[in-house]
């Protein structure tokens, strides 16, 4: 999944603002922050603003990775996996996120879970979205109004790629059969345009670091599997958790998600077929 730049629409002005971005690696994936340069902003000032914002986001991601990673030998999660630390004695961050994940397990009827099949606490299905959520809060606190944050295929936006305009960001969804091709691009709008739009989009699947997805023996997961699931929602946690849950729970969980949450879903079936809600069916296919 990736942000796509697109020429301005009618009434938006004739010049496309320059979209600047910075990337870094954390949580085993690439994180990118894109910010359009506001009209009249000096080039050096725009660069300094972006670099300062990226530094804040990177520090936050790395701090959470040091707590939740099951690949860092010095992390809190590893200490718990080894039996050296109990959840009761874990940090407040660990306990709060575990409780949130456990609530989602109930809401998704077990399709989303905070434990691996061997019983080890594994919050990989929610921690990246949590980091994006916290980073978004930090960006708003810095006074940034227009930005797109992408962490390994999970996207959260605010404002517009055209500062002061109403044009949405477009989040491209990669075809799992051909990673150089896009299935479509979904419009995401910033909170400044109201709370009715979709501000976040997440993709889970065999090509999107799906090691934290387990079927948990759900019958639906065995009967009809998905290769990739993308969910657009008002917040990144809902988008990411439901994408993971639908991957694990199959068609049964897809029906649950679309009937209980205001989301749009694009699911790629194992046989290559597509299942899409109205928001995705209204979009034209893209080739890129």
Chain length of the chain: 288
From the list 232, 241, 240, 228, the residue with the least C-alpha distance to 268 is 228
Handedness of CA 132, 136, 138, 142 (dihedral sign): positive
Q: How many other C-beta atoms are found inside a 10 Å radius of the C-beta of residue 40?
A: 7
Find the helix or strand (DSSP H, E) in which 174 lies: strand 169-175
Domains by residue range for the chain, with CATH: 2-281 (3.10.520.10)
Phi/psi at 256 (nearest 5 deg)? Answer: -60, -45
Residue 13 has pLDDT above 70, yes or no: no
| Interatomic CA distance for residues 262 and 57, integer angstroms | 28
Report the pLDDT averaged over residues 32-46: 86
- In the three-class reduction of DSSP (H, G, I as helix; E, B as strand; rest coil), residue 164 is classed as coil
- Does the predicted TM-score (pTM) go above 0.85? yes
Name residues whose C-beta falls within 8 Å of residue 140's C-beta, 6 or more positions apart in sequence. Answer: 158
19-26, strands of its sheet edge to edge: 19-26, 29-36, 147-151, 154-158, 200-205, 226-233, 264-269, 274-276
Predicted local confidence at residue 191, as pLDDT: 67
CA distance 147 to 130: 17
Residue 246 binned pLDDT confidence (cut-offs 50, 70, 90): very high
Question: What's residue 38's pLDDT?
Answer: 78
Each residue's pLDDT tens digit, 100-155: 999 999 999 999 999 998 999 999 999 999 999 999 999 999 999 999 999 998 99
- Cβ–Cβ under 8 Å, residues 218 and 262: no
Percentage of residues of the chain with pLDDT beyond 90: 73
- By three-state DSSP, how is residue 81 classified? helix
> pLDDT tens for residues 256-266?
999 999 999 99
Q: How far apart are CA 216 and CA 258, in angstroms?
A: 21
């Amino acid at each position: 999944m990736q942000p796509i730049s697109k020429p301005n629409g009618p009434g938006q002005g004739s010049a496309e603002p320059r979209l600047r971005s910075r990337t870094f690696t954390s949580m085993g994936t690439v994180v990118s922050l894109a910010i359009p340069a506001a009209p009249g902003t000096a080039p050096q000032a725009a660069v300094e603003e972006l670099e300062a914002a990226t530094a804040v986001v990177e520090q936050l991601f790395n701090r959470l990775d040091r707590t939740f990673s099951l690949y860092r030998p010095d992390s809190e999660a590893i200490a718990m996996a080894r039996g050296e630390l109990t959840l009761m004695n874990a940090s407040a961050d660990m306990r709060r996120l575990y409780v949130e994940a456990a609530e989602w397990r109930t809401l998704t009827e077990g399709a989303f879970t905070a434990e691996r099949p061997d019983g080890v606490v594994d919050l990989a299905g929610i921690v990246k979205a949590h980091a994006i959520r916290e980073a978004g809060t930090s960006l708003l606190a810095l006074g940034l109004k227009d930005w797109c944050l992408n962490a390994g295929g999970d996207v959260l936006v605010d404002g517009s790629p055209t500062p002061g305009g109403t044009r949405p960001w477009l989040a491209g969804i990669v075809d799992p059969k051909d990673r150089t091709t896009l299935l479509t691009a979904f419009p995401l709008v910033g909170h400044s345009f109201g709370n009715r739009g979709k501000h976040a989009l997440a993709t889970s699947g065999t090509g999107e670091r799906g090691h934290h997805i387990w079927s948990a023996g759900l019958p639906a997961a065995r009967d009809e599997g998905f290769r990739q699931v993308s969910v657009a929602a008002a917040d990144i946690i809902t988008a990411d958790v439901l994408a993971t849950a639908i991957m694990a729970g199959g068609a049964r969980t897809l029906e649950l998600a679309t009937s209980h949450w205001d989301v749009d879903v694009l699911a790629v079936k194992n046989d290559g077929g597509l299942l899409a809600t109205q928001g995705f069916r209204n979009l034209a296919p893209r080739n890129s």
